[in-house]
Structure 1
Amino acid sequence: MTSRTVDAATARSAELAASIASRPEAHPMLTGDRPTGDLHIGHYLSSLRTRVDLQNRGVDSYVLIADYQVITDHDGVGSIKDSTFSLLVDYLAAGIDPALSTVFTHSALPALNQLMLPFLSLVALAELQRNPTVKDELRASRRPLSGLLLTYPVHQAADILFCKADVVPVGRDQLPHLEQTRVIARRFNAAYADEKPVFPEPSALINDQQLILGVDGEKMSKSRGNAITLAASADETANLITRARTDAEQLVTYEPERRPEVANLLTIAAGFTGSSPEELATGLGASGGRGLKALVIEAVNEGLREHRRRRLELSRDRGFLQGVLRTGNARAEAVAAQTLTEVRAAMSMDY
């Protein structure tokens, strides 16, 4: 993306945040995750709490468990059912309320997936091949490029547009796929619904929080095995944090460029305590890596204490969880069916 495009997205994000503050009910939101494993503290700090806050402020929230997207870069689905319910448990434990948010799965919404056909007709092959999201996923998967991975941005556009979401909380690294969605919405309206547009052009609600690193100093990821998951016990969390990379300097300072691993641990502790990383570093003084890790262990375990309690309680009631998904799937499918009806009418296919 060009710097001009990023600047424009940043400006729209600021305008959107201001509008949400005054009229939250006017802004449908789409967000979600792929069920490829347990969520980790990076998800909790950067997205889960934001979703709950927006939901509680009155934003019409759609939370997607993107099960079809698992096979974009995997040979199979693995333990997808367990991963789906693990995601759902973490959503609910974090505060997602199924009475206020629609939680649903890809595979349960035929009408949503049918939007892929007209959307694909609006996108050139070259656009998909140069999309950074596709390139990054292909590089990470180390597999031949599949048709589904190539069309991943179009599938994401269908996810966002089926409920006419105009709010998509993302980091700056995810702006390219959202820009593709904006292009698809614009092209569909121009081709078929110029006088009465069917789709809004969604805007990113940009999250500028620092990227959370894993215990190996690389990006925290479910697939890399370097994550502190929300499902981990207090002892497991302590063991993982004890293994985290730091450096040999005794004086603890917050310098993200020079000391990224130390800065990462301070960022994690700050996220759970409400203090700034700089304040925490000053308080630790010359405590070194051992003192820093002790602080982070206490901050994470105390910060997740109530989440873990709710998580354990929810995990014991599979029937309740299945009911939440059934209700959310039915609600989302009704919305998708209505949107598909509008699309067919706009395309003169409402026979």
Structure 2
Amino acid sequence: MKPQALHGRILTPAGWLQGRIDFAERVLGLSEADAAAADAAAAGAEPQCLILPGFVDLHVHGGAGIDVMMGGDSAAAVARLHARHGTTALLATTMTASEDDIVRALQGIARNIAAQPADGARILGVHLEGPYLSLLRLGAQPPLVVPATLEQVRRLHALAPIKVLTMAPEIPGQLELIGPISALGIRVQVGHSAGSYDDGVAALAAGAAGFTHLFNGMTALDHYEPGIAAAALAHAEYAEIIPDLQHVHPGALRSALRAIPKLYGITDATAATGMPDGEYALGPQRVYKCMGCVRLASGGSLAGSALTMDQALRNLVSIGLDLADASQRLSRFPADYLGLTDRGRLQPGAWADLVVLDAQLQVRQVFVEGRAIPLAG
């Protein structure tokens, strides 16, 4: 790939740099602008662009009218939609379903991992959200839960690399599986759980790495009966949260930001993302998008989101986070959670995953491993 360069205000692990980033597939170097160029930029002689690490979304069900549970090349289509909004790497996320349906989805995802979509985000693997969930905290998941077995997890993991797995630890036998599943290289997360505070603490002690969409699909914080959410706030280093300002009140989001050092944002995006109002699929369920919300067509409860990561960034800034902090919660922290030291940051040797924004934080350019992503279509 031919080397290229961008100039602007660049967010690096050491902070902001006014200058130039050189890259091909990976970042080649960073250099500070000379004094004259810096003075001209400061004086507004040329438009300023903000260059951030590309977003890393660890919880994506769909987009562009497509759900990854459809199998085939659905994950590739979803990756293309989200790339146009600055997501440069993602986990294709499944739903609770029959094993046959999950197998079909994983086979399609595996094919798209092997032949990554042109003009799309890098598909890093799978977030298996279900079927090891509590019937009492299903949210928009269908009632097709089963108890986890190590044998089934191994079968599914052999089809496509599972990077994150959500489970309810209070279900008999599942707490004991956290260690063996983690040994496969899978991050086990607590979610869709009716468990107690003690269940959450026990899951972390057994090796659970995080929590799935904090506050949603779990027992709430109550000062007499603290639930799973309280266990996360008291003990977690990592947890994911949906910053669409609909799933979680800004006050609760601020509380979580203070309590959990590496809280990171996810979209929990559905097929409705990037689409007009109407009815869409979420696994076997039907959901309806209206006025920015996605709800079960049958009952009206929230069912994933229509969020994109660029809007998540703007939302975090709108509630008071500075841009650098908001950015790392959508890029570096989720990359770190997966153990990826060459994504989610702009430094020499890292993948050239970049999102270029204007002063209003609107996406102007996206590069995935050095490839420019068309923003239209």
> What is the TM-score of this pair, normalised by structure 2?
0.28
Greater gyration radius: 1
Judging by fraction of residues, say which structure has more strand: 2
Judging by fraction of residues, say which structure has more helix: 1
